[in-house]
Structure 1
Amino acid sequence: MWSLTIFLLTNIVMAMSQIHENVLRERETLIEKELKMMVGHSIELSDSELKANEIIMDLKREEIDYGFRNPKDFNLSKHFFEYKEQVKDTKLYKILKSMPKGAMLHGHDTAILGPDYVLGLTYYDDLWMCFNEDESDVSFMFSKHRPTGLCGTKWERAKDIRENTNVTEFDTKLRKFFTLVIDNPQEVYTDVNTVWEYFSKYFIRTGPLFTYKPVWEKYYYDTLLALREDNVMYIEIRSVLPPLYDLEGNTYTSVDTAKIYKQVTEKFKKDYPDFFGAKLIYAPLKLVDRQTVKNYVKIAKEIHELMPDFLAGFDLVGQEDLGRPLKEFYPEITNTSLNLYCHAGETNWYGTSSDENLFDAILLGTKRIGHAFALVKHPLLMTEVKKRQIALEVNVISNLVLKLVDDPRNHPLATYLSQDMPVVLSSDDPGPWEAEILTHDFYVAFVGVSSRHADLKMLKQLALNSLYHSSYSEKHNLVHEFQIRWTKFIDSIVKDQWVHV
């Protein structure tokens, strides 16, 4: 009797153990299948890359696992302004800083460099300033003589102000006009419209400062320099192409501004032959009427006829929820022969005209979609995007700062990465929120958005995606140079250059 009981119990235990093992095997199989669906799954790492990957993943897991155990201390769950400087000291950030990042395909020209740089521009000769009565805002104008009009108080020469005040205190006050960064962002930037109001004031305020022709040229040249220093090879820069002015009373049209961009690009490439240059996406504001858009397209066509190799294409920009829906401009922007790079889906309002811009962008034949934040809610469109290989220009930190999402762990990029969507990482307007050109976005995407399992393969694929989905005519040259730089990057990690950082 006891022998039978023991026999039955043994068989039951063995059967349960077998079931348990089968479930574990199936579990591992499912996890493995899912990992093979992610961005970068098809990349085979070399022996050196595998060694570098171990180092990178140890650092990544250390940060994630600490945050998992101590969620209140996880930096990336807080507002970006609270951790943007702290993360720069981590080994992982420094590795990502040195990593070749490919191209930047979504950046707005006058919002790429930070407030310290912009403050430096206020030391130019012939700059005048006008503070409003409570000094809550300031206007700028370059002029040989005191400007007239457009000032509720009085115009003062910047140089004279500094000669008669505490320069450190004055510059500290002035710098605040060039940044969104504050100590209490959650209290002040309470919703999307509010933060966009502050954001829009940055462009209105700095417009006359940047559109002074010598400043425009210098700002763009130094933008290219900053890109190169952040290990970016190439940029497709969006611009509203504002008219410029100089001290002689000359004004320059949008077409002239585009020509200046091309000239500065060529000069920079001559000075730094290892940089692959830039192309222009003409991207004026979308909160306009149809006739204005018709004029935009006319300007774009003129630029394309003059500089077909420099103009990448056309876009309309601005706060998605307040702008006109794309469907209103079908007659103006169809059959133009211009490549489109449409902003779309930068909204949380599901089923609204803002949200449905995604349908229009795809039907209009857009080459890439700027932001595509809301695409995750449209399974049919996700299928179309993947089938048509329309790249998604994702800007994680922009979406955080501009109140589309509070925590990067909830960003839809996680879904795009998990399904091998054609994603390219970019940074939108890093200057006003004091982010580095691309490194901050790569760091937050890698640590705060992607799977704990996502590794060097994903990072490499994201950089390559930015090259494959660029409008650069000789992509094979870009990719070849990237591979050379990538090999050097991997060697620097394997040779323990990061152990004691």
Structure 2
Amino acid sequence: MKKLFLILLIMLSACVPKTPERAIFLKPVDPVALRMILAEMPKGAELHSHLSGIPYAEDYLRWAADDGACIVESSGRIVSGPCKNGTVAAKDAYKRSDVWGRAVNSLSVREGVRDNRMWGHDRFFATFSRFGAAKRDKGRLLAHAVQQAERDGVQYIEVMMSIYGPQWISPWAAEVEWDGKPEECFARLKQAGLFKDMDSARKELDRTESRQHELVGSGPGSDVKVRYINQIFRGAEPAEVFAQMAWSFELVRRDSRVVGLNMVGPEDNPVAMRDYVLHMNMLDFFHSKYPDVPIALHAGELTPTLATPKGISNHIKLAVIKGHARRIGHGVALAYEDTPLKTIELMKKKGTALEVLLGSNDVILNVSGIDHPLTFYLKEDVPVVLASDDMGIARSTLTDEYVRAVLDQNMTYKQLKEAARNSLEYSFLNGGSLWVDKVYSRMVDACSGGVETKNECKKFLSGSPKAALQWNLEKDFKTFEDKYPYLN
């Protein structure tokens, strides 16, 4: 009886109106009970997740052992066998806890080092190059991703990965170079044959998906729908960034599985900072050529420690205006924009959603609690989506992000539910929305009867992958809330 009362108190506290007393209701929240309930909560979609950052270090080490790969003792990097001096066979690490432990720390932020390097920032970004040989099997990574998505109550993921041909874009970028004239540069890239490897890249994606289905079969994760966001590395020189953009926009046009693009890499990278305005102008150019290609952008993943006052002053605004971003990832530097309230108004006017990544913001930026701008975004009615970024590196899950949103940011159940609905509404899935408005007050007329599916509704849902998943989410919410009737 005592435990039931505690759980009831926990969830009722999440439904209390925004008053000064609200914090009192949150004080007795039991994180253990809260997580058990939120683990069952339907979460819609995971919209901001890098494929290679999803598995935990232990997953990579297990795969390395299966593949006969080796661990570099000094760095923890996974390399192909045979194992030579300075390396240990990954299969032998099971019996050597010192090697295993150092490798796990090297492949994640588990150790929580606060040394002369920058919090978890440098360690976080350094891990990607250490996965090495174990991340080559992208089908295995995808299989892991959909299985984890099901554990988190997710039915759709837009996963960021690099989908390029065997030569990447290097030969064409080197041949054409960048002269500051996007129209002429684009024409030269096409004439030089930039897109000639695109069929090869798409066939490789076919093989990746085939491998995923082979590993998953009809088991957990088989019902999770996957689409792709192609990655553009922002730390490269202008000719390479421009060529990556050209390739990515054309790839989205040619392959319906690739639904958008994003620029990746540390936003505070010296080249990325130097060329940020240039990159936004490049995106503006390509948007004029490919207006229907969705764009999501990392923007505002900065603090005054990482950038100068000028450098931190306009990234979110430019991503919305020049980058034509439909979604902004992070947005932590809002308060340091020259005109933050105008930036907020722009996001609302253009319907730009915010991908909130609380765990990685804590690790990479050392920003959490009242220092995080999430509460302000919510107060200003900017649509918010909760996402995990790189759950394996940060040693988190999407469920943990929902828990953190309650404990660290005082989000209510109503706000969590809206974030889950937002994840599908602001996804890049094709098809019309199930909802007439963005506050989810009324479904389209064909489906306005609720969860009892009418023939007209079935026809509508069959023609819209987005609406079909939104319909499933509402059914899942009903089941969840019937189990916990005090949530609403």
- Report the TM-score, using the length of structure 2 for normalisation: 0.72
Matching of residue 284 in structure 1 with residue 241 in structure 2: no
Aligned AA for 1:173? R
CA-CA distance at 1:175 after TM superposition: 2.1
Matching of residue 447 in structure 1 with residue 447 in structure 2: no
Aligned AA for 1:487? K
**Larger relative contact order, structure 1 or 2 (CA cutoff 8 Å, min sep 6):** 1
Matching of residue 371 in structure 1 with residue 315 in structure 2: no
Q: 1:396 to 1:244 in 2, by over 3 A?
A: farther
Q: 1:391 to 1:67 in 2, by over 3 A?
A: closer
Within the candidate set 291, 294, 297, 1:342 is matched to 297
CA-CA distance at 1:400 after TM superposition: 0.8
Alignment of 1:206-225 (within 5 A): 206-211=131-136, 213=137, 216-225=138-147
CA contact (8 A) 1:130 1:139 kept: yes
Alignment of 1:274-423 (within 5 A): 275-307=223-255, 309-322=256-269, 323-324=272-273, 325-330=275-280, 332-333=282-283, 334-335=285-286, 336-337=289-290, 338-349=293-304, 351-363=309-321, 364-376=323-335, 377=337, 378-405=340-367, 407-423=368-384
- Report the TM-score, using the length of structure 1 for normalisation: 0.70
Aligned AA for 1:140? I
2:158 paired residue number: 236
2:416 paired residue number: 459
CA-CA distance at 1:340 after TM superposition: 1.2
Matching of residue 158 in structure 1 with residue 87 in structure 2: no
Q: 1:329 to 1:459 in 2, by over 3 A?
A: closer
1:171 paired residue number: 100
Distance 2:69 2:294 in 1: 39
Deviates more, 1:476-485 or 1:327-336: 327-336
Aligned AA for 1:320? E
Aligned AA for 2:140? K
CA-CA distance at 1:457 after TM superposition: 1.6
Within the candidate set 43, 50, 74, 1:101 is matched to 43
CA contact (8 A) 1:178 1:432 kept: yes
CA contact (8 A) 1:385 1:391 kept: yes
CA-CA distance at 1:353 after TM superposition: 2.9
User: Per the alignment, in what secondary structure is the counterpart of residue 159 of structure 2?
Assistant: strand
CA-CA distance at 1:412 after TM superposition: 0.2
Deviates more, 1:483-492 or 1:291-300: 291-300
User: Per the alignment, in what secondary structure is the counterpart of residue 123 of structure 1?
Assistant: helix
CA contact (8 A) 2:150 2:224 kept: no
Distance 1:422 1:114 in 2: 30
CA-CA distance at 1:409 after TM superposition: 2.7
CA-CA distance at 1:228 after TM superposition: 0.8
Q: 1:125 to 1:113 in 2, by over 3 A?
A: closer
CA contact (8 A) 2:280 2:319 kept: no
CA-CA distance at 1:208 after TM superposition: 2.7
1:24 paired residue number: none
CA contact (8 A) 1:99 1:489 kept: yes
Distance 1:167 1:242 in 2: 38
Aligned residues: 396
Q: 1:138 to 1:457 in 2, by over 3 A?
A: closer
Distance 2:276 2:210 in 1: 32
CA contact (8 A) 1:237 1:278 kept: yes
CA-CA distance at 1:115 after TM superposition: 2.3
CA-CA distance at 1:255 after TM superposition: 4.9
Deviates more, 1:372-381 or 1:219-228: 372-381
The percent identity for this pair of structures is: 21
Distance 1:448 1:347 in 2: 20
Unaligned stretches of 5+ residues in structure 1: 1-51, 75-85, 148-152, 246-251, 497-501
CA contact (8 A) 1:103 1:232 kept: yes
Matching of residue 129 in structure 1 with residue 90 in structure 2: no
User: Per the alignment, in what secondary structure is the counterpart of residue 279 of structure 1?
Assistant: strand
